[in-house]
Amino acid sequence: MELETFAGNHISEVCKRAVALATSEDVTFEFNGIEVVARPGESAEQIEARWHTDLAAASERRQNSQEYKDAEAKREEEWRQKLAAHLTEPAQTEADMREAKDPWPCTIEQLVEYVQSVTKRQHDYGTCVYAMSLAATAAFNFVAHQLGVTGFQSSCADLDFLRRSRGIKGPFMLVKGEDFLYPQCDPRGKLAEALADWNPWLCEQAAKKLAETPGAHPDVVAHWKRLAEAPDARRKAPRRATAATYRGPAMLDLRAPEAWSD
């Protein structure tokens, strides 16, 4: 009997399913390139241990192969050239700078060289904008590379940069127009969830403003009162797990990454 596995499965869970099925015959499945056989009477722990052993052996064979060694040598040479390369911004006009590729400096020398290439030149009103954003992107990507951060950490960092640069004091979200093209990404649902999450903060802030600025315009005062006195404002609404918000178990599980099916 064959057991089908899917992206996002964990080896522990697949082994348990295989054991449940292997009551009278072998159950086979493939997990991250390793073929596994679950035999009647075996435990999930035994099957998983064998998979780890086979995975380690396959990894060792791959690393000892000439193909792998040649690929590693090629990557090392490409990396050496990348470190030695000069990094400057060739775009000169506002339109070209707007469409310029994101800079990815690998060394502090490349970062300085790039920043100088966009600052030590003649600018007009529009090119100044992109000189700042490109220089900031270069610094952001350099630090991300130096720290070896994940994509999730980077996404938090760029939102924090936006919070600081725009002087945002409360919760906020980004809305992308392209998301309206796909039903699973419709921002209207995300906005509704965000507003439910922000209700306690809005209630607290509205109450503070009523106390601090009683002489505000009557329409503003009335609006603050509605927010402060909303019946559900102090209770955070439960979130729905939807295709637009659910990140999957890999975001929460700290087990070894190779144990997740890709």
Buried b (16+ CB within 10 A) or exposed e, 181-208: eeeeeebebbeebbebebbeebbebbbe
pLDDT at 97: 98
Confidence check: pLDDT of 1 > 60: yes
pLDDT at 255: 47
* pLDDT (average), residues 91-97: 97
On the 0-12 / 13-18 / 19+ scale of CB atoms within 10 A, 215 is: exposed
Confidence check: pLDDT of 260 > 90: no
Who wins on pLDDT, 258 or 173?
173
- Comparing C-alpha atoms, which of 149, 176, 174 is closest to residue 162? 174
Confidence check: pLDDT of 213 > 70: yes
Q: How confident is the model at residue 250 (pLDDT cuts 50, 70, 90)?
A: very low
pLDDT at 91: 97
Confidence check: pLDDT of 237 > 80: no
pLDDT at 145: 94
Q: How confident is the model at residue 257 (pLDDT cuts 50, 70, 90)?
A: low
Q: What is the mean pLDDT of the chain?
A: 89
On the 0-12 / 13-18 / 19+ scale of CB atoms within 10 A, 210 is: middle
pLDDT at 252: 36
Element (H, E) at 75: helix 66-84
* pLDDT (average), residues 240-255: 37
Confidence check: pLDDT of 251 > 80: no
Confidence check: pLDDT of 258 > 70: no
Q: Are 210 and 228 in contact (CB under 8 A)?
A: yes
pLDDT digit string (tens) for 6-25?
Answer: 888 999 999 999 999 999 99
